[in-house]
Chain A
Amino acid sequence: MQPFIYQRAETLEAAAQAAAASRGSHVEAPVQFVAGGTTLLDLMKIDVMRPATVVDINPLQERYGAIATDDKGLRLGALARMAQVADHPSVRRDFPVIAQTLDLAASQQLRNMATLGGNLLQRTRCNYFRDVSWAACNKRNPGSGCAALDGMNRKHAVLGTSDQCIATYPGDFAQALVALDATLEIAGPQGRREIAVQQLHKQPGSTPNIETQLVPGELITAILVPSAPWTRRSLYLKVRDRESYEFALASAAVALDIADGEVREARIALGGVATMPWRAKEAEAALRGRRLDEAAAEAAAEAAFAGAQTHEHNAYKVPLGRRTLVRALLDAARLEIRS
């Protein structure tokens, strides 16, 4: 870990200002915010991230960490801790997919530490990215190549990849938000703005080092999840080698509005298989207006993975991803929803 100046931000404005002079992509900026520290400090210890200044934004938790619901939806302060949100009764009742993505992520200790905003921004677990002794990593060192393309890529992505990077987005929570059309409130040196969660992450393309559309100094302050007829019939299915405390090999966040046996609306996001939280709109379209049976679920899954690109050790993720989605859809269709 390189030495850094530690600063504590008592206000949002001060935090934004402290980071305003920062340049480059958000993850490469010399000023970094820390809240839970579960990504930043981890990556600093292994020399992947080397900020010169670390701004502690925990003092902002009181103001930007609240959980509120009304009939329009759910408002989650970005500094709320994952565990706190996972246990919130309204979240569990009205947005089960959100609670489940949080419950199934990491461990309770990490969920107690990590904030929602930080969780959205957590970085890939690609071992070639995380180990600086591997020279080739376009994400860490643009233009150096990608050791994973022909390496040990069992856990790497099959959707949204490029010939520069196939690192998997490791999170769970973002899939729920993407599926539910959630938006983010962002504050920064240029002022406030609001974007769809779907817009936050970028595919690697030719710039895998640019992971999100945040600019240096920008902070996620809140997450807004609109109420909709499908939020209660929602779930998250996470498939992994062991029963707990592991990143997904494949996962699916699904939300369904079913009336008279027919799918009125379906919302689907995939995890563990893509370079970013992956909204599967083709799969949603394939379901709309249909009875959700095995064949319909399989057709949707087929559509979701139509563009998949595999490498030596991750070809299984296509059939596994499809089956995960089919299982999630059929399980969601069977849910008993109490009004």
Chain B
Amino acid sequence: MSIAAPEPKANMGRPEPRLDARLKVTGEARYPSDVPVGNPLHAVLVTSAIAKGRLDRLDTEAARAVPGVVEIFTAENTRELKPLEYTPGGGGASTSVQGLGPDIAHDGQIIAMVVAESFEVAREAAYKVKATYAREAPSASFGAAGLDEKPAGKEFPKAGDAAAALSAADVVVDAEYGTPTQHHNPIELFTTTCVWDGEHLTVHEPSQFVYGLKNSVAKRLGIDPAKVRVVSTYIGGAFGSKAQLTPRTPLVALAAKRLGRPVKLVASRDQGFTIATYRAETKHRIRLGARRDGKITAYTHDGREVTSRPDAYKVAGVSDTVRLYDFGTVATSVNVVHADRNTPGFMRSPPVVPYVYALESAMDELAVALGMDPVELRRINDVTKDTVSGKSWSSRSLMKCYDEAAAAFGWSRRTAEPGSMRDGEWLVGWGCATACYPTHMAATTARVRLLPSGEVRVQVAAHDIGTGAYTVIGQTAAERLGVPLAAVTVELGDSDLPPGPVAGGSTTTASTCSAVIKACDAIREKLVRAASTANDGPLAGRSPSDLSFTDGRAVASDGAAESVADVMQRLGTAALEEYAEYIPHGVQQDGIRKLYSGRAAMTGGPHGDKIMYALGAEFVEVRVHARTREVRVPRAVGAFAGGRILNPRTAHSQLMGGMIWGIGSALHEATEIDPREARYVNDNISEYLIPVNADVPRIDVIMVPEEDAEVNPAGVKGLGELGNVGTAAAIANAVYHATGKRIRDLPIRIEDLL
């Protein structure tokens, strides 16, 4: 076992290598823009240079004159695209379905698309499209004139009289925090290739929700969704950016239809900043009141989030943060601030990344104010009954995570005084914070087929965005049907398959595997019945509960066995195939019908009978140069409990990658917005910094065994969005420990520490 493939502990599966590993290391895995299509035209987008106003004139003459240009799509010739309603979590943002002008609602809005015989020609011509605007002064972000701020909802979590508890508290922390605009920047660009065969459209596009995309594209085109197929076999990173319809897809589809040839678009990196979504900037005011002994008595959290003019997109992470500790009293609010921007959207752990950053920073400030070890503060306030709802937790292993991570990190050697752990020219700081992510389940289906040879095929339009979904789904079927993993083929990412959940909310493993288990169990039942009710078979008369499946055989507890092939022959069938629907407790019974029509139905976290969260504890060491103040993270340790771990290898990678995301979030990532023009300035991955290999010397991931039979049949909590929660707070807390400076606005940069 290597570090990448940890030895399984209790309630963990085997660390199998990924089923798609060979394809990915040989270049054979075909991402959507890799799929060969015959005789394609190439499209290049033209986007607006203003954020607000009108397109006065769009001169396409010079562009049309470039030899090889076939057509230029503008507002004039794309009016047949149908409007689509904004549904958070569904179709797409208003800024994704707007026309190509003349109204301009945000920087980088698509105003034209050039289609040409080659990419080179299309790109050349795109620069020759000249736009003239009637510009209006835009409102960019917090602090700008002309913003429209309003409550993001009617009610936010509240418990008891927080104001009174604050005034009675021995110690009060009252602080404001801020998080910046961030863009997902998966390395794969936003690509779309559309191919028509008569009335039937195939869309090759990296997608986290092929059924959602299929249905929203169909609506926008005004055609029957049954005639649209979305294929997204491999996805080159997504992180939320590929979960919704973006404006490009219907446009490419329309172009391909009109021109009678496949059209291929590979949007440029800078366009990706404005044609898809992003994590909006947030501000927070937090007050924590506590008794001298560390018991928290009050928590108030007022969040503010930027969004677009038309859409009240919000993440409102207070509904998660209030669950974390025994707060005594709680008062929260969330406002949205409408600005002249594209609509934000899901980005890895959308609600908890900014809100937990703020809370976990405040927790550290409280620990400092109390003169108490921050781990002990969390222990004192560990919770068994939710402050707001009174519900109990399905399982909660937070302090186990803290204890294991603290031991591995060497936390006991920490000296509390800021600046006290200097190593030569480097100031050393140690900090910690809690990670959490609500356990979500989504309605989903799955189809499983077993052949007499023992070969198994699993089909579901779920998505492997790098998470290992192919592998854990395959493992689940293999285990359930008693066949080797090598005998299982998993098909995902194609809307011709039975619908699967959106690859969001960390639902895929929990939901899809629950559906696969259901389908496999139906196959097992048929096999068991055939084996046990037959008069002449070796298992005749056995009780169904006495039989298990292993190595392609049905086996009784006394060792009597019959091969699956023989049982199937007895059944007179060449294949056993089952289609199953999994509707999690709490999701309406029409959840599957909705899923077919492209709407995700999800439950979990605080919304069920029990409070359901995956939790973790992260410890980091930062080094700040005493003179030049670079901040580096030489090591980090995270311990996480997420229910059953189906594959410790892929789980380890997700948690590790998440923690590195947290490093980026704390120290590197921020989209700069020019306040005069409400335009993104560093819209490239040279200036929008993400961690590079040299930034990550050492990450230790500990998986804490946890069993939770209540969350879902698979016992899985979901890990994809857990690792990057809390990391930024741990780093900010460590920077305080190193320097004595509390930085409350991310990212923490050299200039903050000079």
Contact = CB atoms under 8 A, between A and B. Distances in A.
A249 B667 contact: no
Contact of B689 (A127, A246, A316): A246
Interface residues of A, number: 38
Given A151-B674, A316-B750, A320-B750, A242 B689 contact: yes
B270 A131 contact: yes
Contacts of B120: 1
B626 to A, nearest CB: 9
Contact of B692 (A242, A247, A250, A324): A242
A3 B750 contact: no
Given A47-B127, A127-B682, A152-B674, A243 B754 contact: no
Interface stretch (B321-329, B490-498, B542-550, B627-635): B627-635
B123 interface: yes
A319 B686 contact: no
Interface in A224-245: 237, 239-245
B751 interface: yes
Contact of B695 (A132, A154, A243, A323): A243
B745 interface: no
Interface residues of B, number: 36
Contacts of A1: 120, 123-124
Contact of A316 (B627, B672, B695, B751): B751
Contacts of A239: 628, 630, 750
Contacts of A243: 632, 692, 694-695
Contacts of B630: 239-241
B732 to A, nearest CB: 16
Contact of A323 (B628, B668, B684, B691): B628
B534 interface: no
A241 B749 contact: yes
Contacts of A155: 687
Contacts of A324: 628
A339 interface: no
Given A45-B123, A320-B754, A127 B681 contact: yes
A220 B627 CA distance: 38
A291 interface: no
A327 interface: yes
Interface string A142-169: 0000010011101100000000000000
A326 interface: yes
Contacts of B698: none
Interface string A104-147: 00000000000000000000010110011111000000000001
Contact of B667 (A152, A241, A250): A241
B667 A151 contact: no
Given A125-B687, A244-B693, A320-B754, A151 B681 contact: yes
Contacts of B694: 242-245
Contacts of A240: 630
A40 to B, nearest CB: 16
B49 interface: yes
A125 B127 contact: no
B676 interface: yes
Nearest to A328: B628
Nearest to B682: A127
B695 A326 contact: no
A320 B120 CA distance: 43
A10 B397 CA distance: 70
Given A152-B672, A316-B750, A241 B627 contact: no
B681 A327 contact: no
Contact of A327 (B124, B627, B668, B751): B627
A154 B124 contact: no
A132 B127 contact: yes
A131 B680 CA distance: 11
Contacts of B47: 133
Interface in A259-318: 316
A150 B675 CA distance: 10
A318 to B, nearest CB: 10
Contacts of B754: 316, 319-320, 323
A249 B751 CA distance: 10
A150 B674 CA distance: 9
A1 B268 CA distance: 13
Interface string B648-686: 000000000000000000011000111010000111101
Contacts of B49: 133-135
A64 to B, nearest CB: 29
Nearest to B632: A243
Contacts of B625: 327
B627 A326 contact: yes
A241 B747 CA distance: 10
B692 A127 contact: no
Nearest to B690: A242
Nearest to B123: A1
A238 B81 CA distance: 52
Contacts of B687: 125, 127, 155
Contacts of B676: 150-151
A135 B132 CA distance: 12
Contacts of B673: 152
Contacts of A246: 686, 689
A107 B159 CA distance: 54
Nearest to A134: B49
Contacts of B127: 2, 47, 132
Contacts of A242: 667-668, 689, 691-692, 694-695
A114 B684 CA distance: 21
Nearest to B49: A133
A327 B754 CA distance: 14
Contacts of A152: 672-674, 681-682
A247 B692 CA distance: 14
Contact of A241 (B123, B124, B668): B668
Nearest to A42: B686
A241 B627 CA distance: 14
B682 A320 contact: no
A67 B689 CA distance: 35
A260 B97 CA distance: 74
A183 B408 CA distance: 55
Contacts of B749: 241
B669 to A, nearest CB: 10
Nearest to B107: A133
Interface in A169-199: none
A245 B695 CA distance: 10
Interface in B617-642: 625, 627-630, 632
Interface string A1-28: 1110000000000000000000000000
Contacts of A47: 127
Contacts of A45: 123
A321 to B, nearest CB: 10
B692 A244 contact: yes
Given A152-B681, A242-B692, A244-B693, 10 more contacts: A1-B123, A2-B124, A127-B681, A151-B676, A154-B751, A237-B628, A245-B692, A246-B686, A320-B628, A327-B627
21 contacts: A1-B124, A2-B124, A3-B124, A127-B681, A127-B683, A131-B683, A150-B676, A239-B628, A239-B630, A240-B630, A241-B749, A245-B692, A246-B686, A320-B628, A320-B629, A320-B750, A320-B751, A323-B628, A326-B627, A327-B625, A327-B628
Closest 6 CB pairs of A and B: A316-B751, A244-B694, A133-B49, A243-B694, A47-B127, A152-B681
